[in-house]
């Protein structure tokens, strides 16, 4: 028996959202993109205009939730979008896929969303994003003692971060790689919100935001976004090294994050074989 195609609403039409939309439009994801929304309406209109499926352009998140029979909303916008819209999306009985995972390190918000999942019988999808190994981290989480992620990026991909309002670092004058930040994931997502969603998903999968340690390295010679994860515990040790091509649309975002989002969505929409833990 053929299942009805899942109907997707997209929030955020930037680097990630646009590629997800194209993947649905080209049939790589077995779903229908029915509505797109962006705080900048022209971005949503421009994207909708490029797609064969010609999705509706919503004027607001409420319009997206009320006007269309969307059953899964993909957030590819910002942490603020998660804080502002996630509750309402779940309360309207829609599944939700979140890319701006950093927002979920707010424990109160995360607990509230989890309780809405049960109450409304809906699902929350958190893609692995720009890293690897979340399956293994999840499997050993009760045995984990230490987790550290070291993220190396070109200064250009870091320069807008709120961190630089509080700390003086001459990014433009850097001649070689420099560790500019050490701290835990809870603080790191506040100081580098657009760069450390990977630390957030690692925390949620593993030992939490207070115990997951983050180092940020600015490297003027970096051509890739590099994430190195080291985890230790009674199970042994895990080391993952990921060297990512930046997305052409946004140097802060790794191309792997986009591919991971598309794969997560394919899984949510196909429900056939589930590979991996
Ligand atoms: N999970 C991961 O591994 C991972 C990796 C990279 C990026 N991200 C996150 O995913 C999100 C999207 O990334 P991107 O590279 O596509 O960013 P982008 O800047 O290219 O696009 C974001 C789009 O969302 C829109 N937007 C922002 N806030 C909004 C709001 N409140 N309501 C409606 N629209 C809003 C913007 O206008 C923009 O068009 C970011 O929060 C980013 O930090 C996650």
Which tens digit of pLDDT belongs to each residue from 147-197? 999 999 999 889 889 999 989 888 889 999 999 999 999 999 899 988 788
Q: What residues act catalytically?
A: 227
pLDDT value of position 206: 97
Question: How far apart are the C-alpha atoms of 84 and 61, rounded to whole Å?
Answer: 10
pLDDT value of position 1: 54
**Which ligand 1 atom is nearest residue 84's CA?**
31
- Do 106 and 66 have their domain in common? yes
For residue 250, report the distance from its CA to the centre of ligand 1, in Å: 10
Q: Which of 14, 134, 201, 260 to mutate to test the pocket of ligand 1 (most atoms within 8 A of CB)?
A: 14
- Do 211 and 162 have their domain in common? yes
Residue nearest (by alpha carbon) to ligand 1 atom 9? 100
For residue 111, report the distance from its CA to the centre of ligand 1, in Å: 23
Q: Establish if 250 belongs to a structural domain.
A: no
Question: How far apart are the C-alpha atoms of 96 and 261, rounded to whole Å?
Answer: 12
Structural contact between residues 18 and 51, judged by C-beta atoms closer than 8 angstroms: no
pLDDT value of position 74: 98
Q: Establish if 251 belongs to a structural domain.
A: no
**Predicted TM-score (pTM) above 0.85:** yes
Q: Establish if 114 belongs to a structural domain.
A: yes
* Number of domains observed in the structure of the chain: 2
Q: Establish if 184 belongs to a structural domain.
A: yes
- Do 66 and 156 have their domain in common? no
- Do 139 and 159 have their domain in common? yes
CA-based nearest residue to 101, from 208, 213, 201, 193: 201
* Ligand 1 contacts CB of residue 78 (under 6 A): yes
- Which residue segment(s) compose the domain that 164 sits in? 134-244
Q: Residue 65: which CATH number?
A: 3.40.50.720
- Do 227 and 262 have their domain in common? no
- Do 203 and 110 have their domain in common? no
- Do 100 and 200 have their domain in common? no
- Do 190 and 216 have their domain in common? yes
Angle at alpha carbon of residue 205, lines to 201 and 207, rounded to 5° = 110
Pairing of strands 178-184, 212-218: antiparallel
What residue ranges of the chain have pLDDT lower than 50?
none
Q: Establish if 56 belongs to a structural domain.
A: yes
């Amino acid at each position: 028996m053929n299942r009805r195609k899942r109907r997707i609403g997209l929030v955020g039409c930037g680097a990630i959202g646009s590629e997800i939309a194209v993947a649905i439009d080209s049939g790589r994801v077995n779903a229908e993109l029915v509505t797109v929304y962006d705080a900048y309406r022209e971005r949503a209109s421009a994207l909708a205009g490029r797609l064969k499926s010609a999705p509706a352009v919503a004027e607001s998140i409420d319009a997206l939730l009320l006007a269309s029979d969307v059953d899964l909303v993909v957030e590819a916008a910002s942490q603020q979008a998660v804080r502002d819209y996630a509750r309402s999306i779940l309360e309207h009985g829609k599944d939700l896929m979140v890319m701006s995972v950093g927002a979920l390190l707010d424990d109160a918000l995360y607990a509230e969303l989890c309780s809405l999942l049960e109450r409304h019988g809906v699902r929350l999808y958190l893609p692995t994003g720009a890293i690897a190994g979340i399956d293994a981290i999840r499997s050993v989480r009760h045995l984990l003692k230490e987790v550290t992620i070291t993220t190396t990026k070109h200064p250009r991909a870091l320069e807008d971060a709120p961190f630089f309002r509080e700390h003086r670092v001459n990014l433009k004058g850097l001649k070689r790689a420099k560790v500019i930040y050490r701290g835990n994931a809870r603080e790191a997502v506040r100081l580098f919100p657009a760069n450390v969603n990977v630390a957030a998903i690692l925390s949620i999968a593993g030992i939490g935001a207070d115990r997951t340690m983050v180092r940020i390295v600015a490297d003027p010679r970096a051509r890739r976004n590099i994430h190195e994860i080291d985890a230790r515990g009674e199970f042994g040790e895990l080391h993952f090294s990921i060297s990512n091509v930046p997305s052409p649309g946004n140097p802060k975002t790794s191309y792997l994050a986009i591919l991971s989002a598309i794969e997560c969505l394919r899984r949510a929409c196909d429900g056939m074989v589930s590979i991996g833990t």
